[in-house]
Amino acid sequence: METREWLFSADWGTSAFRLRLVDMEKGACRAELKTEAGVAALYDEWQHNNDGRKGSQTEYMMDYLLRQAQQLRQQIPEAGRIKGMIVSGMASSSIGLQEVPYAAVPFRLDALDGEHRLLWAKQPERFPVVLLSGVRTADNVMRGEETQLIGLYGLAEPNGCALYILPGTHSKHILVENGAIVDFSTYLTGELFRLLATASVLKNSVSMRAMRSAGNDSGLRSFAEGVSRAQEAPLLENLFTVRARDLLEKVPAAENTLYLSGLLIGAELRGVAEKNFDQIIIAGSEQLLPLYEYAFQTLDMGEAVTAIAPQILDSCVMKAHVDIYKRLFHEYGQYQNG
């Protein structure tokens, strides 16, 4: 007879949805599905197609969530009773499942500091659904990265002052002191790269497909040149040099694309070397992590940086959800009784 505990782990972002069925005894994902049904698309769908019979925003989102859970559950028929579901990311925003207020810094990574909302799944079986909120400072917000960081922090638990860098569309630099998030910054590095490369005067001097050649020697030289130049002048002054390299030096689009990436990542990292961090930890995708590592090498800071492999980062949200479940349901055991 199956006695193990099973947990649904949902990471629901603006543009993507990911759900795992987790065997908590083994700490392992047994089944997983991904869709492009982020909260933004579902919110628009609910708004534009709500004919009065589709219920509230929460009901509409919950219906999607539970349909995916049922589909995933069918892949592991031997799974025992579902103990609960943890949902993080943009699902707790105003366009998500239900809005939950941000928790304020300092936000402890080893305690139950986050805001959350309890909902209930009613089919195919009854179990608690815990919706996690994000974190805010006086002038910045994030949803999802703090949960990822809980999983990351549990890997090493650095002492003193550590800077965690999470590259992406909106890169986060998160300052952790003695186990708590105390401050963070957001950089629109990835979004700005895409806009400049596809919708600006620079689009004819670069090629988005060229990012695949990041390991090419000439591409890396151009990338390093961009990183270095970003330390010498403001970004707005530097950007047109991408076009000038094309017109005056006939630099190939592939190399120019890496140069543009170097300018933006270099601008993001500008000033990091001047701050006294005990440790700098980078955790990113297979595409972005090598670029950030190379940028730090260009800045003569390679030895000060710890890089987290993408496959480890990939499991951090699930790890955090299991940890949060154990803390939350140990403290609030009545959840199990409804």
In angstroms, what is the C-alpha Rg of the chain? Answer: 22
Q: Is the pLDDT of residue 338 over 60?
A: no
- Dihedral sign for Cα 327, 87, 172, 153, please: positive
Q: Is the pLDDT of residue 272 over 90?
A: yes
How far apart are alpha carbons 226 and 262 in whole angstroms? Answer: 4
Check if 6-157+316-337 and 187-312 are the same fold: yes
At 32 the three-state DSSP class reads strand
Q: Is the pLDDT of residue 142 over 90?
A: yes
- Dihedral sign for Cα 242, 248, 249, 252, please: positive
**77 falls in which pLDDT band (50, 70, 90)?**
confident
Choose among 198, 163, 153, 167: nearest CA to 295. Answer: 167
Out of 77-91, 164-178, 185-199, pick the least confident: 77-91
Find all residues with CB under 8 Å of 323, minimum gap 6, and list them: 150, 151, 154
How far apart are alpha carbons 152 and 138 in whole angstroms? Answer: 24
CATH code at 187-312? 3.30.420.310
Model pLDDT for residues 221-259, shown as the tens digit of each residue: 999 999 999 999 999 999 999 999 999 999 999 999 999
Question: C-alpha 268: how far from its chain's center?
Answer: 17
Model pLDDT for residues 35-64, shown as the tens digit of each residue: 999 999 999 999 887 665 668 899 999 999
Instruction: Give the residues across from 51 on adjacent strands.
Output: none
B/e letters for 60-86, b = 16+ CB within 10 Å, e = fewer, are bbbebbbebbeebbeeeeebeebbbbb
Out of 18-32, 92-106, 176-190, pick the least confident: 18-32
Decide if 157 contacts 323 (C-beta within 8 A): no
pLDDT, average across residues 266-292: 93
Q: How many Cα neighbours within 13 Å face the side chain of 14? A: 6
Residue recorded with tokens 């590259």: 167
Q: Is the pLDDT of residue 3 over 50?
A: yes
pLDDT, average across residues 184-200: 96
Mean pLDDT, all residues of the chain: 90
Strand 82-89 and strand 141-142: pairing? unpaired
Q: Is the pLDDT of residue 335 over 70?
A: no
- Supply the pLDDT for residue 92: 96
Which one-letter DSSP state was computed for residue 201? Answer: G
Decide if 149 contacts 114 (C-beta within 8 A): no
**68 falls in which pLDDT band (50, 70, 90)?**
very high
Domain 6-157+316-337 in this protein, CATH class: alpha beta
Decide if 90 contacts 144 (C-beta within 8 A): yes
Write the single-letter amino acid at 216.
N
Strand 161-166 and strand 171-177: pairing? antiparallel
Q: Is the pLDDT of residue 178 over 70?
A: yes
Q: Is the pLDDT of residue 333 over 90?
A: no
Q: Is the pLDDT of residue 2 over 80?
A: no
- Supply the pLDDT for residue 1: 42
Model pLDDT for residues 87-141, shown as the tens digit of each residue: 999 999 999 999 999 999 999 998 777 789 999 988 667 889 999 999 999 999 9
Instruction: Give the residues across from 147 on adjacent strands.
Output: none
- DSSP secondary structure letters along 210-264: GGGGTTSHHHHHHHHHHHHHHTTS-HHHHTTHHHHHHHHH---HHHHHHHHHHHH
Q: Percent of the chain scored above 90 by pLDDT? A: 72
Out of 58-62, 77-81, 259-263, pick the least confident: 77-81
Q: What is the pTM of this model?
A: 0.91
* Cis omega (within 30 of 0) for bond into 124: yes
Domain range annotation of the chain: 6-157+316-337, 187-312
**328 falls in which pLDDT band (50, 70, 90)?**
confident
At 59 the three-state DSSP class reads helix
How far apart are alpha carbons 187 and 236 in whole angstroms? Answer: 15
